[in-house]
Structure 1
Amino acid sequence: MASGSQTLKYVAYISSPDMEVLNDATFGVGADLADMWAYLDDATARLQARHPSYSFTPRLVRYEQVTTEMPRP
């Protein structure tokens, strides 16, 4: 049984303490990991400067497609 996976996209987002998404961006499969985190760090710093009493959570998520060959019963 063969299987594999393929990265489809990356989504970067920043959520507030109540888990509301305040900022998000979608990156293609060729995006550089360091560039995506730099984007998140910069956006988080700007939010923190505007709302110093809040804490923000940056996240980077990879979306994949998984394929699995199914054997004949």
Structure 2
Amino acid sequence: MMRYENEELKDKSACANIRADLKMCLLQSDCCKIQKKTPRECLNANDGSVPTECQALRNTFFECKRSILDNRARFRGRKGY
């Protein structure tokens, strides 16, 4: 997603950047704009209204959260960006 140089998130927790990108992707999708659903409702709906970019971000967010619990991640680092 596009970010400005000076932009900084208040949330400093792990995977916060991916969470913000996923949220913005969902808010800009037709599911939220046209169908007036919340981002959570769009993720839970299996009607194909969520773009593949958002689905890829959802998977990346899942992998990032899972890597927090993985003890091997201490050596390899967290997945994501």
The normalised TM-score by structure 2 is 0.30
Greater Rg by CA: 1
The normalised TM-score by structure 1 is 0.33
Instruction: Indicate the structure whose relative CO is greater, using CA pairs within 8 Å and at least 6 residues apart.
Output: 1
**Which structure's residues are more often helix, by fraction?**
2
